[in-house]
Structure 1
Amino acid sequence: MNSTAYNVVRNEEDQYSVWPAYRPVPAGWTTIGDAADRETCLERIEQLWTDMRPRSLRAAKEQ
């Protein structure tokens, strides 16, 4: 059983990822919510990331 805690992180293009909580969040990424196990984080991403297109592409399509 993996006891590593993870964070959901999001970049400026509204793309999400799972990142180990013990590691510093990379530049350009922001932690979303509290640390949890990997499966919980993946479920959170599934709920949050409803449009896979990067923010810049969505904005260009709306113009």
Structure 2
Amino acid sequence: MTDQIRYLVAVNDEEQHALWQEGTELPAGWRAEGFSGTEEECVAHVDRVWPDIRPLSLRRRLADEAARQAGGAR
């Protein structure tokens, strides 16, 4: 039986998530999120903590636009 590869969950400033094999250096702009495990465990974790996969900047822009529209409708 071979050992299972272990992964860690990484996140960037846009709150995008990715899996990286443990022991592999993360690229610039990414940091360890704090969860590690098998690929299946990491994918399940990402599914729980990242329900809206749009980048943070897009979510903020859309929220700002919605707030402006709501303010103008009064």
Q: Distance in 2 between matches of 1:7 and 1:26?
A: 13
- The alpha carbon displacement at 1:27 in A equals 0.8
Equivalent-residue separation in structure 2 for 1:34 and 1:47 (angstroms): 12
Q: Secondary structure at the match of 2:33?
A: strand
Q: RMSD of the TM alignment (CA)? A: 1.3
Aligned ranges 1:24-63 → 2 under 5 Å: 24-63=25-64
2:13 paired with 1:12: yes
TM-score normalised by length of structure 1: 0.89
Change (3 A) 1:34 1:53: closer
Structure-2 separation of matches of 1:35 and 1:15: 16
Q: What TM-score comes out, normalization by structure 2 length?
A: 0.77
Count of residue pairs the alignment pairs up: 63
Question: Whose strand proportion is higher, 1 or 2?
Answer: 1
* Structure 2: stretches of 5+ with no match in the other structure: 65-74
Change in CA separation of 1:34 and 1:62 when aligned onto 2, cut-off 3 Å: closer
Q: State the secondary structure of the residue aligned to 1:23.
A: coil
Q: Which has the higher helix share?
A: 2
Q: Runs ≥4 in structure 1, deviation > 3 angstroms?
A: none
Deviation at 1:52, TM superposition (A): 1.2
